[in-house]
Amino acid sequence: MKTVTIEDILSFGPCWENARERMEKIAQKYNQQEWSAVDVLRLPEALVSNADKLWLVLREELVDVPVLHEFACRCAEHVLSKIDNPDPRSVAAVEAKRAWLRGEISDDELDNAHDAAGAAHYAAARVAKSACHAAYSAYRAADDAAYWAASDAADCAAKAANDKGTERTWQVAELIKMLEE
């Protein structure tokens, strides 16, 4: 299992006020010097917001690349499921990403799906804000860069949700489930 230390976390560049002191207090409270993604995700939200937990763990230093990609797909699907008649290009982008992960399509084919999802995003931008964010979530999920796919898909899914807090809570729970499978 991959772990990080306080020094590793600081190297990521958190923008939290008094980041070192805050992390040292948490480390002391839990008597831990190294943290896995699940350790971080299980911290009470009163100590670390779900958005900050996801910012920290959605990176290759803590989560394997295939899991980051799959998480991006799940975030996109989750938010697309809340939209009436999502653009088929957005849905196809998520399907293409999974096919790419299985080695069934080429990088060029994934790029084409990514571009089509981008077009769906721009079309949705003219119609409805939540549909726009949902489409962008699928667009980002279809990216081949694991960190950006996972991070941006999660962020856009939260923006598309009527309740960001509920969406972030779902994302944290879903990622814990994936990491414990």
pLDDT digits (tens, 9 = 90+) for 49-108: 999 999 999 999 999 999 998 998 898 888 888 778 888 888 888 898 899 999 999 989
Give residue-wise pLDDT tens across range 114-158. 888 777 766 665 555 565 566 666 666 666 666 666 776 677 777
pLDDT value, residue 120: 74
Give the end-to-end CA distance of the chain in Å, rounded to a whole number: 13
User: Residues in the chain, how many?
Assistant: 181
pLDDT value, residue 129: 57
pLDDT value, residue 57: 95
Question: Is the pLDDT higher at 13 or at 141?
Answer: 13
Question: Please, which pLDDT band fits residue 179 given cuts at 50, 70 and 90?
Answer: very high
What tokens does 89 get?
A: 């290009």
What tokens does 76 get?
A: 């996109």
Residue of 172, 178, 164 lying closest to 133 (CA atoms): 164
d(CA 70, CA 60): 13
d(CA 71, CA 167): 13
C-alpha angle 122/125/131, rounded to 5°? 110
pLDDT value, residue 125: 57
pLDDT value, residue 36: 97
